[in-house]
Structure 1
């Protein structure tokens, strides 16, 4: 099953485009599930709309967490909160959306073969999609697996102490979270998942898309296409409109040099009705095609020629002044513009030292020199 994640700069019309994309795919005969908060989408026999209630998700999760930890809470004299007095905290919306994506992709309605997801605006979308991997790393550092092996002793210790052991509840909760985060991460990183950006062509949108693509690439999440939204017709007699249309055409052509672009015409009004969506859904190329296989970050062996291994990291739109990298143990801290990621090194590179890096044609090539003390000598 295919998952299409749609995002773009705030105000670019991503929610409308997500709805029109889902409708276009349904018209082609696919069974589509649309995750969105768009109010003007009509369901039919091939299109189902699901809305994420982040407040309810937050209340249900916290109440369940309290129930599982009731013994610990009672031991410290805490008074549990009821569902009625809970209000969602910052971040609840992102977690609810990720869980909805996981449910839609792993347990879809019978016959569903495409899930279209209306993500938050671009900068928030990058942060949301990177959450599962980041949180799993935090859990592994704070509650390492080797310490979890001691869980078998805790029931005995609890009997000797006469009270429940909080650590046991903590590790069990962490293990459950890690399992759920791993399931979400698997969906986000799957070959069957792709990202489509939506923007209204112009200088501001161009810079927002560049940074957004950079942040997604840093998370190894490539962009498959761009929808150039609200395009004005060419040849207007009004000089101002003609100039704006020419500017849109210029930026659209620049995007098309790097990615497939779907041009979406301006309706002359804000789309507010099912009829407007139906018009937009007629746009050629709006319905998604099957996703192409992803290409990961490749390690090139150049020991014979240059005595180094080269790790190729695609970072489209990156600028040298925005990049930074630091080696720390078996991890690499990569910074690209406003985004940062801590990446585990491939095993072959852990026996090497970083000896340089260069950016060319949107690819960061990091050179690693083998450590003679850790590499076997060649005869």
Structure 2
């Protein structure tokens, strides 16, 4: 299944573009599911059909779904309390009733990730269109599965879990229940769920569609979003310039200044798809059909981080990491064991080194034309002569 993630600055009309993209794909014969976790039903307003906690058939081959974060959070907490009953009794903690549970910050994002995983595993559709939160929150959301899995592995490494078989015996010897078994089982389940989400995001058929209004603020937001997505190796399938005013508005009338700014930025956004302003908020199939959103590409162009062998010429291997829009002064690299910590502007990622680079030391780095080139020199102690 093809997955298209849609985000952009807040207020840029990304939900409308998500609805129009899904509508266009379904009209073209593609079985499409459009997914949103927005508390308010902005997706339903754009589609002209109310959406809710269960998938709703909007049109032939088009389904919309807005999962309930509150219900999901209550179910998760209730399940955790059931699994951790021994530990809660041991420490004298009282359990929470489902009726008194309200979602914590971030529960909408976790609900959206779970729904994304469930939709991908169900394989009932050919295209999944995901209406993500505004770009800064979306980038944090997309980083969440990888980061949480790394935290889980550090807190409860697999080698420590191997001793689980001894814990029932230790519990009998100590005379008290040992709650670690439930903890390890919960951790393993979380890791499996996060790995499934990570697999969807890393799939070569997954891409991002960026939506922004052309203008100074939109240009800054797009530049930052491109950098954050590149650091996550997520390809941008299309840049959609939304709510574009007609060119004649730049020459006369009350919108002259705004239209002139828009067309200036459009000149800088090479290859951007332009969606005209309808003069009102799009509502329903007729309005969505009037929006000239680009067709969904049958396959994404994946972001590659190749390692180039220059041992014969320069005695180094060069890891090429595309970082469009990165500024040299805002870049930072730290080698830590078999990982490389890359910081670019407000974004940071810890990436595992390719196996061939783990036997090397960092020999330097340079930023050229939006690409970070990190040089690695073989470590003689780990890379014997002749290999």
Q: TM-score range by the shorter chain?
A: over 0.9
Aligned partner of 1:292 among 292, 300, 304: 300
Q: Check conservation: 2:319, 2:375, Cα contact below 8 A.
A: yes
The runs of 5 or more residues in structure 2 that have no matched partner are: 50-57
Question: In the alignment, what sits opposite 2:380?
Answer: 372
Deviation at 1:244, TM superposition (A): 2.9
Question: In the alignment, what sits opposite 2:255?
Answer: 241
Q: Check conservation: 1:20, 1:278, Cα contact below 8 A.
A: yes
Question: In the alignment, what sits opposite 1:255?
Answer: 269
Question: In the alignment, what sits opposite 1:162?
Answer: 175
The runs of 5 or more residues in structure 1 that have no matched partner are: none
For these two proteins, the number of residue pairs brought into alignment is 371
Tell me: CA distance 1:343–1:160, structure 2 relative to 1, closer, same or farther (3 Å): same
Cα RMSD for the two superposed structures: 1.5
Deviation at 1:332, TM superposition (A): 1.0
State the alpha-carbon separation in 2 of the partners of residues 56 and 355 from structure 1.
Answer: 52
Deviation at 1:221, TM superposition (A): 1.1
State the alpha-carbon separation in 1 of the partners of residues 113 and 84 from structure 2.
Answer: 24
1:21 is aligned to 2:21: yes
Q: Check conservation: 2:223, 2:325, Cα contact below 8 A.
A: yes
1:92-148 per-position Cα deviation (integer Å, ceiling 9, x unaligned) = 111001001101111143xx1011000000010000001000010111111111111
- Structure 1 segments, 4+ long, off by >4 Å, are none
Q: Check conservation: 1:353, 1:370, Cα contact below 8 A.
A: yes
After TM superposition, the structure 1 stretch with the greater mean CA deviation from structure 2, 71-80 or 157-166, is 157-166
Question: In the alignment, what sits opposite 2:230?
Answer: 217
State the alpha-carbon separation in 2 of the partners of residues 316 and 233 from structure 1.
Answer: 30
State the alpha-carbon separation in 2 of the partners of residues 306 and 240 from structure 1.
Answer: 60
Question: In the alignment, what sits opposite 2:337?
Answer: 329
TM-score (norm 1): 0.94
1:106-185 matches, within 5 Å, as 106-109=121-124, 112-185=125-198
After TM superposition, the structure 1 stretch with the greater mean CA deviation from structure 2, 56-65 or 150-159, is 150-159
Deviation at 1:275, TM superposition (A): 3.5
1:262-301 matches, within 5 Å, as 262-280=273-291, 283=292, 286-301=294-309
TM-score (norm 2): 0.92
Question: In the alignment, what sits opposite 1:345?
Answer: 353
State the alpha-carbon separation in 1 of the partners of residues 340 and 299 from structure 2.
Answer: 29
1:75 is aligned to 2:90: yes
State the alpha-carbon separation in 2 of the partners of residues 30 and 70 from structure 1.
Answer: 46
State the alpha-carbon separation in 2 of the partners of residues 200 and 107 from structure 1.
Answer: 35
Q: Check conservation: 2:339, 2:350, Cα contact below 8 A.
A: yes
State the alpha-carbon separation in 2 of the partners of residues 81 and 57 from structure 1.
Answer: 15
1:207-250 per-position Cα deviation (integer Å, ceiling 9, x unaligned) = 11111111111111121111100001112352553443232223
